C-alpha cells in the first residue's frame, strides 16, 4: 500500500506545488484550529486525539472541492479505526450552502465555518482545495495543494502512520 501512495506522489508535478498544485513536504507546527462548526458543536483541534489529522480547506463554490469530496469520505471511512481524524475548513462560504453540502455528501466529520477566511489563513494556503496532514506529534508533514484523490491521500497517511509506529 505504501508503494502505491509513493507512486502517486511521484506522478505529481516537480514544479513548485504552491503554484501549480501537488504535494509538498512540511515540518511546521500545526497552529491548532478552533471555532464554530458549520453543523454541530464548536471545534477545537487541541482537544482532539489522532494518529494523523487530515485538515481539508474547501468551499461549495469550488469545483475541485466537489470532485474530491467522495475521495475524502472514502479515505476517512478506511482509516477512522486507526485513529485518523478529519476536519474541514469551509472557506468564505454561505452557511446554508455549506450545510446542504454536508447533508448531500453525507459528510460525517465536522467542518469549521470560516466566512472571513481567517481560520484558513493560519494554515498559509494559496488556493482551494488544500489538504494538510498533521502527525501525532502535532507537526504538519504534508500538504496537497489542489485536488487530491483517495490513492494519493491514503499513501501520505500510510507514510505518517508508519513513521509513528515504533515497530514500523
Residues 103-160 pLDDT 10s: 999 999 999 999 999 999 999 877 799 999 999 999 999 999 999 999 999 999 999 9
- Confidence bin at 69 (pLDDT 50/70/90): very high
Question: What is the overall mean pLDDT for the chain?
Answer: 89
- The domains of the chain, with CATH numbers, are 2-164 (3.40.30.10)
Segment (H or E) for 150: helix 150-164
For residues 45-80, one letter each, b for 16 or more C-beta atoms within 10 angstroms of the residue's C-beta and e for the rest, the string is beeeebbbbbbbbbbbebeebbebbebbbebbeebe
Residues 43-59 pLDDT 10s: 999 999 999 999 999 99
State the pairing for strand pair 43-44/84-91: unpaired
Q: What pLDDT score was predicted for residue 166?
A: 58
Q: What pLDDT score was predicted for residue 127?
A: 77
Task: List the grid coordinates of 136.
Answer: 501525532
Q: What pLDDT score was predicted for residue 5?
A: 46
Q: What is the pTM of this model?
A: 0.87
Amino acid at each position: 500500500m505504501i508503494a502505491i501512495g509513493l507512486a502517486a506522489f511521484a506522478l505529481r508535478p516537480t514544479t513548485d506545488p504552491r503554484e501549480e498544485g501537488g504535494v509538498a513536504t512540511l515540518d511546521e507546527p500545526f497552529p491548532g484550529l478552533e471555532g464554530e462548526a458549520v453543523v454541530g458543536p464548536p471545534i477545537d483541534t487541541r482537544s482532539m486525539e489522532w494518529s494523523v489529522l487530515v485538515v481539508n480547506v474547501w468551499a461549495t463554490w469550488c469545483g475541485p472541492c466537489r470532485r474530491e469530496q467522495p475521495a475524502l469520505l472514502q479515505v476517512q471511512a478506511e482509516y477512522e479505526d486507526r485513529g485518523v481524524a478529519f476536519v474541514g475548513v469551509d472557506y468564505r462560504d454561505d452557511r446554508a450552502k455549506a450545510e446542504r453540502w454536508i447533508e448531500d455528501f453525507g459528510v460525517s466529520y465536522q467542518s469549521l465555518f470560516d466566512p472571513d477566511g481567517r481560520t484558513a489563513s493560519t494554515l498559509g494556503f494559496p488556493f482551494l482545495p488544500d489538504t494538510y496532514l498533521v502527525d501525532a506529534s502535532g507537526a504538519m508533514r504534508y500538504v496537497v495543494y489542489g485536488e487530491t484523490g483517495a490513492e494519493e491521500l491514503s499513501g501520505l497517511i500510510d507514510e505518517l502512520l508508519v513513521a509513528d509506529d515504533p515497530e514500523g
